[in-house]
């Protein structure tokens, strides 16, 4: 697959970028995408939730009344879960939600999403660029020129660029990542994917 290469002004340079079919034209695997996104979201969880159980709530452990002969139900101490202010039964405890996925499966998931984005014409290739100084206005104009204003946009660079990052930091919906750091969730969570030429070269080798 080939895509036109645009410059920072949104003008067609007349050159074409080649998208590797092994990355952008595979048989998509939706289940791999599901698992990768599930793992990403699970890894974001702190897992610090905790509720107090019967032995942890504040209250006397004295038996409220005798077991038999009172005409009522049997009951233990005031910390019983059936009483107001008592402990919680099987409440949440701190835990680690992370789980393992094979690298090849995660790679398949990324390629599946890139294939879907390419088929939906949601990928734009631009020349390598940088800004002379960090200016939010420059990045806003950049998205306007590419007709992506107001959309969630993921800009993929070959390496770190402080000026570009700082320029996009305050733009709602704008995200900057390096080609080696892209993940399935980020690709899915943005409407358009903007690749620099050098960033595309890295992705083509994934």
Cβ proximity of 77 and 95 under 8 Å:
no
pLDDT at 169: 94
pLDDT-derived band at 37, boundaries 50, 70, 90: very high
pLDDT at 28: 93
Ramachandran bin of 178, using left for φ above 0, alpha for ψ from -120 to 50, beta for the remaining angles: beta
Domain range for residue 59?
A: 51-91
Same domain, 152 and 66: no
Same domain, 56 and 109: no
CATH number where 146 lies: 3.40.1370.10
Same domain, 85 and 109: no
Q: Which tens digits make up the pLDDT trace of 170-202?
A: 999 999 999 999 999 999 999 999 999 999 999
What pTM was computed for the model? 0.84
Ramachandran bin of 60, using left for φ above 0, alpha for ψ from -120 to 50, beta for the remaining angles: beta
Same domain, 22 and 102: yes
Q: Which tens digits make up the pLDDT trace of 69-119?
A: 989 889 999 999 999 999 999 999 999 999 999 999 999 999 999 999 999
Q: Return the ∠ at Cα 12 (arms to 10 and 17), rounded to 5°.
A: 110
Q: Is residue 34 over pLDDT 90?
A: yes
pLDDT at 206: 79
Half-sphere exposure of 89 (CA within 13 A, CB side): 5
Same domain, 77 and 176: no
Number of domains in the chain: 2
pLDDT at 2: 92
Q: Which tens digits make up the pLDDT trace of 41-66?
A: 999 999 999 999 999 999 999 999 99
């Amino acid at each position: 697959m080939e895509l036109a290469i645009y410059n920072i002004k949104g003008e067609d340079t007349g050159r074409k970028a080649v998208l590797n079919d092994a990355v952008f034209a595979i048989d998509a695997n939706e289940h791999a995408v599901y698992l990768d996104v599930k793992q990403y979201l699970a890894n974001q969880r702190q897992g610090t939730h905790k509720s107090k159980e019967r032995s942890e709530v504040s209250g006397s452990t004295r038996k409220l009344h005798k077991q038999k002969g009172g005409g009522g139900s049997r009951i233990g101490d005031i910390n019983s879960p059936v009483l107001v202010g008592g402990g919680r039964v099987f409440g949440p405890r701190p835990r680690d939600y992370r789980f393992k996925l094979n690298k090849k499966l995660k790679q398949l998931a990324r390629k599946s999403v890139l294939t879907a984005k390419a088929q939906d014409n949601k990928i734009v290739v631009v020349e390598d660029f940088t800004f002379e100084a960090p200016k939010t206005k420059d990045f806003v104009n950049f998205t306007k020129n590419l007709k992506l204003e107001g959309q969630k946009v993921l800009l993929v660079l070959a390496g770190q660029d402080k000026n570009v990052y700082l320029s996009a930091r305050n733009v709602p919906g704008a995200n900057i990542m390096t080609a080696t750091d892209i993940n399935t969730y980020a690709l899915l969570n943005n409407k358009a994917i903007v690749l620099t030429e050098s960033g595309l070269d890295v992705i083509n080798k994934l």
